[in-house]
Amino acid sequence: MTIIVTGGAGFIGSNFIFHMMKKYPDYRIVCLDSLTYAGNLSTLKSVMDKENFRFVKMDICDREAVYKLFEEEKPNIIVNFAAESHVDRSIENPGIFLETNIMGTAVLMDACRKYGIDRFHQVSTDEVYGDLPLDRPDLLFTENTPIHTSSPYSSSKAAADLLVLAYHRTFGLPVSISRCSNNYGPYQFPEKLIPLMIANALADKELPVYGEGLNVRDWLYVEDHCKAIDLILHKGKVGEVYNIGGHNEMRNIDIVTLICDALNKPTSLIKHVTDRKGHDMRYAIDPTKIHNELGWLPETKFADGIKLTIQWYLDNKEWWETIISGEYQNYYKEMYENR
């Protein structure tokens, strides 16, 4: 069994590689990643020298290179994590999101058609459903909720999802799609809410909460997401979409307050800043389908997962301090100075 994991030097892809290599030591894992600002080779150092692992620096949009890799590796399964994944960056520069998230997905699926494949799995997001109102806690996203996107990021992910389903219907490509809620855990790039707040709080810097901080996200520990994808690959039905989420809705302001408390930092560090354009109010996943069909349930409670995550950032300062000391400084200035 050979699996190509695209975007495996990023947050969720790397955690997925660790999960798969531990659980299936006889599988060959090939990580394809172009190492954008969000990809970090040092994340993969614990698996780099393993015989059944190969890292290839490659852009999923590079058709010729992707075809060559398929010819060489003859993969059974592709799991596509590679994406531009940050909503704020998509508001600043939508173009690269369209290229990577839509065109890159098309190139990978064309390779699958050309060389044959058992499964192409697309890692998608709950953001394709748009958002839910705060005053209707009874409403949740199901797999039948209409696609209704807000940001260039979510629109590009939705376009990719439609293309994946079209390749299934038109060409019979054996695909599956998972749409997961917000992940947190080790190796998340510090531009996303939880690691950014941990890093800033540790440096006694301001904690920039967009607007009033009342927006709600449905948080899932990354390992639970990886286990769900593993299940879908092995037991999920071809042509199906599976929502993944753990009924763990929290307001941004409560997350940031909790991080302050855990690190023994004052909440006076919190600074309410100008809101994100088009900011989605609330995401909430109904995971009934994956639970009923595949028996998946989240295993890590938020109270435990956030402790593990904070401890990981405390124990692995070198990993994220290297990131935030480089180009990230310019990004941070552009995004947050005078906001």
Q: Which residues bind ligand TDX (CB under 6 A)?
A: 85-87, 125, 127, 182, 192-193, 196, 208-210, 215, 217, 252, 276
Q: Which two tokens stand for residue 315?
A: 């124990």
Site string for ligand NAD, 186-215 (x = CB under 6 A): ---x--------------------------
Determine which residue in the list 3, 9, 158, 260 makes contact with ligand NAD, applying CB under 6 A: 9
Report how far residue 180's alpha carbon sits from residue 14's, in angstroms, rounded to the nearest whole number. 16
Long-range contacts of 199-205 (CB under 8 A, 24+ apart): 199/313, 199/320, 199/324, 200/269, 201/259, 201/260, 201/263, 201/265, 201/269, 202/263, 202/265, 202/313, 202/314, 204/265, 204/269, 205/269
Residue number, 3 or 123, with CB nearest to ligand NAD: 123
Q: At residue 112, what is the residue type?
A: C
* Catalytic-labelled residue, pool 153, 187, 242, 283: 153
Report how far residue 209's alpha carbon sits from residue 339's, in angstroms, rounded to the nearest whole number. 11
Determine which residue in the list 3, 4, 7, 149 makes contact with ligand NAD, applying CB under 6 A: 7
Applying CB under 6 A, does 183 fall inside the site for ligand NAD?
Answer: yes
Residue number, 87 or 173, with CB nearest to ligand NAD: 87
Residue number, 13 or 236, with CB nearest to ligand NAD: 13
Report how far residue 264's alpha carbon sits from residue 286's, in angstroms, rounded to the nearest whole number. 34
Residues in the chain: 339
Report how far residue 221's alpha carbon sits from residue 301's, in angstroms, rounded to the nearest whole number. 8
* Catalytic-labelled residue, pool 33, 59, 127, 224: 127
Helix (H) and strand (E) counts in the chain: 13, 13
DSSP assignment of 61-83: T-HHHHHHHHHHH--SEEEE--S
Residue 104 site contact among ligand NAD, ligand TDX, none (CB < 5 to 8 Å, cut-off depends on kind):
ligand NAD
| Minimum distance of ligand NAD from residue 157's CB (angstroms) | 5
| Minimum distance of ligand NAD from residue 264's CB (angstroms) | 27
Query: Residue with the closest Cβ to ligand TDX?
Result: 125
Applying CB under 6 A, does 298 fall inside the site for ligand NAD?
Answer: no
**Interacting stretch for ligand NAD, rule CB under 6 A, among 34-42, 47-55, 233-241, 330-338?**
34-42
Report how far residue 97's alpha carbon sits from residue 185's, in angstroms, rounded to the nearest whole number. 24
Active site residues: 126-127, 153
